[in-house]
Amino acid sequence: MSVAPSVDFPETRPLKGRAAIVTGAGRGLGRAEALELARLGAAVVVNDLGRPGRDGSGAASAGPAEEVVREIRAAGGTALAHTGDVADFEQARAVVALAVSEFGALDVLVNNAGILRDRMVFSMTEDEWDTVLRVHLKGHFATTRFAAAHWRERAKATGGPVYGRIVNTSSEAFLAGSAGQPNYAAAKGGIVGLTTSTALALAKYGVTANVICPRARTRMTEDVFAGAHRPAEGLDPLAPEHVAPLVGYLASPAAARISGQLLVVHGGMVAVVERPRVAAQFDSGQDTFTYAELDALLTPHYADRPQDETFAAAEVLGLRRGRGARHS
């Protein structure tokens, strides 16, 4: 079974005095990430769309964001809840404004909020496509847009770089291809493009932007990992607690030189994924290609390659702790 993350504060708190936002932080990955950032010293705005309601007896009950805030405060940390939809432009503006007004600045943005609407591409509805792209891709963009503006204004006011960290959430579904998730894979691929663009745009202001591909058993992915082994004792290899420390590290001063990077993380393992590389180049022997020339060049090039070998990197799905390439 999964073990709840500890909010016990360590002696060294690299994020002390920093303020962070974590979206989709009421449960699962976002909750573990918010608790870890608080453990490392950050004041955290815990965002989740769920709102307070009533329990089975009719008594008032806290929403998921408020519950995480209570956990952080009970351990002596600082946290606030925000229950707006971060894919809504004004709510994204509001969550950044909340961090700035209450904590004096925003230093760390962790974009995690997301949903699933899985279906094969030939069966997917327009709404299933639009909803997933909106929550994941627009949700990442909207908060990034206002956080970036905040950091740019601070840099202009101070005349130098500021402290800013963005950690975005992509997925192995983008890297490896996921036949039943064309909307999710597309959104997660878009998040990688957003991250690399943001990293370049904000570098001169001192801001870093990185993207992780986590594998974790959460409420959103319970059907995806329904067949995955869950140990009777100890930490589940798919527990969100395996992911949270990397988020805390990327948010810290120690990661100042890391930006525009993609890392896969799960089960006690972190894999650094390299950028795509050009495998071959073909030049036309005239002003432009003809069909016949392309046929003569490309058809033989692909003739001996496996038909199932595509741009997708399915091998990432086989990554496990203790397997694969190691840092030397």
Active site annotation includes 259 = no
- Describe the chain by its helix, strand, coil percentages, rounded to 5: 40, 15, 45
113 contacts 171 by C-beta, under 8 angstroms = no
With 0-12 / 13-18 / 19 or more C-beta atoms within 10 angstroms meaning exposed / middle / buried, residue 310 is: exposed
Label residue 301 left, alpha or beta by phi (over 0 means left) and psi (-120 to 50 means alpha): alpha
Active site annotation includes 184 = yes
DSSP state of 202: H
Strands (E), the chain: 19-22, 43-47, 53-54, 60-61, 79-82, 108-110, 164-169, 207-214, 262-266, 269-273
Active site annotation includes 171 = yes
> Which of 170, 171, 178, 259 is flagged as catalytic?
171
34 contacts 21 by C-beta, under 8 angstroms = no
> Which of 170, 188, 252, 259 is flagged as catalytic?
188
- Residue 118: closest CA among 45, 249, 225: 225
> Which of 184, 205, 252, 259 is flagged as catalytic?
184
102 contacts 130 by C-beta, under 8 angstroms = no
- Token digits for 179? 């036949």
Secondary structure (3-state) at 34: helix
Catalytic annotation, residues: 171, 184, 188
